[in-house]
Amino acid sequence: MAGEGSCGKTVDAGARLARSGIWAEAWAQIDAPDGMVNIAYEGLDRHVLHGHGSELALIWLGKDGVRVEYSFADLAAQTSRFAGVLTDYGLKEGDSVFSLMGRIPELYITALGTLKAGLVFTPLFSAFGPEPIRTRMEIGNARVLVTTEALYKRKIEPLRASLPSLELVLITGNEAPEGCTALGPALAAASPDIAVANTTPETPALIHFTSGTTGKPKGAVHVHQAVVYHAYSGRKALDLTPGTIYWCTADPGWVTGTSYGIIAPLVNRATMIVVEAEFDLERWYETIQREKVEVWYTAPTAIRMMMRAGAKAAMPYDFSSLRFMASVGEPLNPEAVIWSEKVFGQPFHDNWWQTETGGIMIANRPGMTVKPGSMGKPLPGVEASIVDNEASNLREAGENEIGELALRPGWPSMMRSYIHEQARYDKCFADGWYLSGDLAMRDADGYFWFVGRADDLIKSSGHLIGPFEVESALIEHPAIAEAGVIGIPDETAGEVVKAYVTLNPDFAPSDTLERDIRGHARKKLGAAVAPREIIFRKSLPKTRSGKIMRRLLKARELGLPEGDISTLETDES
């Protein structure tokens, strides 16, 4: 699947390099004989073979208060049965299995069973509407879908005729509507000891769609050797060790929920907590206390909701089990780092990566000094830099200079292509660098600081303004819960800053409040950078993975077409 365009060479070189130096050490930590490697084997069967089958792999906390434990042996057996269902059906390497489910145990069995069978797995958010589901299944050429009866009836049945590649629809439980197969009896009839497929390091394993924050989502293809990096980064960046009670709050509908919500914990023999329900403050705090969560991986959007509820709401709970807390997905405002230190006795550790990179690239690792507002430093083995790609020649930027965040390909979990979009993929590479599309700076200590998406940068009276800096200053104001900042055209300045904000409880929109916020921003940022205008909103437009969609705020502001909004979640003016 390696690209054939101008950067095909880069990626092949990457795949080769992934066996040398630090990656050779990482390979040695997994159990990949004769050039074969399989993610599901590394996460489950390997532990069973080494005598750890009875240890807990997954604790599932259902919406209605049900709690179910799965050992490594349980999951190894169930995923083998599921792999058996797929191979009995006649699927073969390269065939594509999709899931459309909430965070229920069948989702995890589907993911790992598909990988064990050597097929390609693609998870979809259960909350997606029919159109985003249809386009993704069409792009990924889905032959199989695993879903629930309710989701099938509501979302799949009406569009099934428009999905000619979809042959087998498996429905969780013991009964299935016409044209579908019930998963329960199929699993019961399948053999529990199917052989793991002979997947190689380069066998395609997963297609993950990007969040769609900046435009039409891309389908990033990942291969089985990614597991080497998930094992490595799980240890280095999240401190996962055998037996660690670990909770990743992300849904497998986006990459964090798979790389670090399934693969990294299992391969490191940690116990993963899976909570079916969406964000619910009390339920979350209770989960940490009751399950004695040790490592917690979440996102800024959730952290800002905790902050909005206030430190008082956290007081009744015992968080003493927590030894490491991390955040990803969006920039983590310094205010959130400082707040978490007060409430949990330790900071959230920000880390940066993308669907494309498959794993954490830059992080505030355990034991590192946290500089609030910084994403941390590249993991050992990851070569990251800030480059200026505007001029005719790509040039590495100096200290504290804003430029595009770039990575040297060569780590094992790098994407291998954007499915059916070779040209878009090729554009990601220049001069031997992978270009992230994000702007950042590196300081004298080697810490990286996020500035904004390349598309979101604001140019005002000769200043370059990153929306993150302005948003972080705004949420230091006691009234503000969240902020999204864009640049709007201005005759004299080129662009000026405009901010959309949501308020904390106990605050209501008013002219006085707007004046006060603008005064606060001017004091913090200076008149050139402070927003000229503040708009109060009930919520900000966000993707399903919790990212503020600034491009949508801007398109509306300018009366332009909204573009692809297939991943849009909340949005109330």
Q: Identify the sign of the CA torsion 206, 212, 214, 216.
A: positive
122/354 with CB nearer ligand ATP:
354
- Angle at CA of residue 111, ends 108 and 117, nearest 5°: 130
Binders of ligand ATP: how many residues, by CB under 6 A?
A: 24
Taking CB under 5 A as the criterion, which residues in 186-245 touch Mg ion?
210
- The H or E element that residue 14 is part of is helix 8-17
- Angle at CA of residue 98, ends 92 and 102, nearest 5°: 145
Chosen from Mg ion, ligand ATP, none, partner binding at 217 (C-beta under 5 to 8 Å by type): ligand ATP
210/271 with CB nearer Mg ion:
210
438 is a site residue for ligand ATP (CB under 6 A): yes
172/213 with CB nearer ligand ATP:
213
Chosen from Mg ion, ligand ATP, none, partner binding at 254 (C-beta under 5 to 8 Å by type): ligand ATP
Residue 199 CA to residue 93 CA, distance in Å, equals: 9
172 is a site residue for ligand ATP (CB under 6 A): no
- CA R_g for the chain: 23
What's 472's DSSP letter?
Answer: H
56 pairs with which residues across the strands?
71
Chosen from ligand ATP, Mg ion, none, partner binding at 329 (C-beta under 5 to 8 Å by type): ligand ATP
Chosen from Mg ion, ligand ATP, none, partner binding at 375 (C-beta under 5 to 8 Å by type): ligand ATP
495 pairs with which residues across the strands?
489
Pairing mode, strands 295-298 and 56-61: unpaired
9/427 with CB nearer Mg ion:
427
Give one DSSP letter per residue of 372-414, joined into a string.
TT--BEEPTT--EEEEE-SSSS-EE--TT--EEEEE-S-STT-
Residue 449 CA to residue 20 CA, distance in Å, equals: 29
Q: Cβ–Cβ contacts within 10 Å for residue 308, how many?
A: 17
User: Measured from the CB of residue 4, what is the shortest distance to ligand ATP in angstroms?
Assistant: 23
Whether 182 and 146 have beta carbons less than 8 Å apart is answered as no
User: Measured from the CB of residue 254, what is the shortest distance to ligand ATP in angstroms?
Assistant: 5
Question: How many residues can be counted in the chain?
Answer: 573
User: Measured from the CB of residue 456, what is the shortest distance to ligand ATP in angstroms?
Assistant: 9
| Dihedral angle computed from the Cα positions of residues 42, 46, 51 and 52, in that order, rounded to the nearest 10 degrees | 20
Q: Of 116, 134, 136, 453, which lies in the binding site for ligand ATP, with binding defined by CB under 6 A?
A: 453
User: Measured from the CB of residue 351, what is the shortest distance to ligand ATP in angstroms?
Assistant: 6
Whether 477 and 471 have beta carbons less than 8 Å apart is answered as no
Binders of Mg ion: how many residues, by CB under 5 A?
A: 1
Taking CB under 6 A as the criterion, which residues in 332-371 touch ligand ATP?
350-352, 354-355
453/498 with CB nearer Mg ion:
453
125 is a site residue for ligand ATP (CB under 6 A): no
Residue 389 CA to residue 71 CA, distance in Å, equals: 49
456 is a site residue for ligand ATP (CB under 6 A): no
Q: Of 37, 547, 550, 566, which lies in the binding site for ligand ATP, with binding defined by CB under 6 A?
A: 547
Q: Identify the sign of the CA torsion 444, 446, 449, 451.
A: positive
User: Measured from the CB of residue 328, what is the shortest distance to ligand ATP in angstroms?
Assistant: 5
Q: Of 545, 548, 552, 566, which lies in the binding site for ligand ATP, with binding defined by CB under 6 A?
A: 545
Residue 285 CA to residue 302 CA, distance in Å, equals: 12
114/354 with CB nearer ligand ATP:
354
Residue 233 CA to residue 237 CA, distance in Å, equals: 5
128 is a site residue for ligand ATP (CB under 6 A): no
Helix, strand or coil, per DSSP, at residue 286: helix
169/440 with CB nearer ligand ATP:
440
Helix, strand or coil, per DSSP, at residue 439: strand
436 is a site residue for ligand ATP (CB under 6 A): yes
217 is a site residue for ligand ATP (CB under 6 A): yes
Taking CB under 6 A as the criterion, which residues in 196-215 touch ligand ATP?
210-215
Chosen from ligand ATP, Mg ion, none, partner binding at 147 (C-beta under 5 to 8 Å by type): none
Residues that bind Mg ion (CB under 5 A): 210
Which residues of the chain form contacts with ligand ATP (CB under 6 A)? 210-215, 217, 254, 328-331, 350-352, 354-355, 375, 436, 438, 450, 453, 545, 547
